[in-house]
Chain A
Amino acid sequence: MKEFLEGSRAVAEAVKLCKPGVISAYPITPQTHIVEELASMVADGQLKSQFINVESEHSAASVVLGGVAAGVRSYTASSSQGLLLMGEVIFNIAGMRLPLVLTCANRAVSAPINIWNDQQDSISLRDAGWIQLYAENIQEAADFHFIGYRLSEDKSIMLPVMVCMDGFILTHGMETVDIPEQEKVDKFLPAYKPLYKLDPAEPLSMGLLADPEYYQETRYAIQETFKDVLKMLPKVSKEFNVVFSRDYKDLLVEEYLTKDAEKVIVAMGSVCGTIKEAVDEQRKKGKKVGLLKIISYRPFPYNRVYEALKNAKKIAILDKSVSLGAYAPIAVELKAAFSGKKKVPVISSFVAGLGGRDITLDSIREIFRKLNQKEVTLEFIDLKPELLREEYGE
């Protein structure tokens, strides 16, 4: 049923339809509305969940770890500082191969403290072994939760999923969203059947010590499983389309007018909506431009990205995060995708929107213009030079 909803509410409705048995979260802007909505649903009896108010994000993640280890589908959400605080638990959950869905309301990372959107928080945990899906709009944000559980709990995958949605932009923005009926969700997402769980009827030990004789293979196993995830995402997308009549193609990328494009911008998240508008504008002027939207950041779809961009002449990557002291996170993956290939386009890397700085149509037009110039190794867009003249010391 189509409703005009705040993004957080849409996500809460989606989570409610997934029927998690244990929900635990700690408040942090801009995730708060999601969790408040869920608390409300539990209080009204709409959602029969154990709602555990914890004393920190580290404990929130630990509670849901315990919940899913005991065989019950669980859910949590966080952002920025909270996500980083639960950092070691994040690694723990993936390492223990426990299925889970976590909503990351993308927010900039302290210091300086900043509550507005960029993607630094989830990007900083890219090595943890979580599947990371980035939503462009609220419909995607909601849908990726059904997809997340379906993927995560698959016995051949058993890896946790982080659904990333830009804080404020998507969490507090409002869009018309289709919230499906429970029967449809039940058809797509069956009840969680644990591969292993804590149960006195069948005792087992989880979280053992692995010395050098055993550790490496567990990491290799996750790396190999990510290859399976690349194959499974398109399958799950097809199943999703059959039930919900929404086609996410291969759930790896979205090609927006890239087939004959000479210039393509590569980006992730809500900024893709703005870029699509800019692309339409340029196309009206007869310019052959396009957008490649990355949906699955982990596993990164190197082959798919190469196939989509191999005929482009100039590529601009727009990162909403940095890897300080090195190239930008998505730019690095793009360069890797073209490594060793015969024909390599001009690949320019741009960083924008940090700390919630607005990325406007003008910013995107500027990027298209810059693509006419030399290849850019790494450039920050929309910097304020007057701020850079402040000096300390003396």
Chain B
Amino acid sequence: MARGAIGQANIAFDSVQLEDEANSVTMTFDVPPANVTAFADVYQVSVAGKPSAKLDIQGAWDPAAAQGDATIFAELGGVAKAYDFEPGGGETTGYDGFAIVTSYSITATVTDAVKWAGSLLHNGGSAAMDGLAPTRA
């Protein structure tokens, strides 16, 4: 039985590899339930709605050109760009698709490295706004 390796995830957004600055990635899939409970039911009954997916990424801030800061800042409020998340590192099963940036922050403290955190919201599978699921490959 395979299990995910520690500390080897790969994450790319808008064709920029972020794993050389990211130290945590969480991909969350949410399914909104609709309550369809009827008078005759003993227990509540729900049906599943349309799923959504998001990526929360954080790491050490890298201000160099063509790295995370420049890339994510440029996409704030923009159209969706491609992402590729491989939890176990390269050439392993992962998820890819298109996402918009929904938040980004930079924190500098006097006793630590400058840190950043950002959130991406899945927006399409094979193309922006195509309404498809993330591709699991």
Chain B binds chain A: no
Taking Cβ atoms with an 8 Å cutoff, the residues of B that contact A are none
Taking Cβ atoms with an 8 Å cutoff, the residues of A that contact B are none
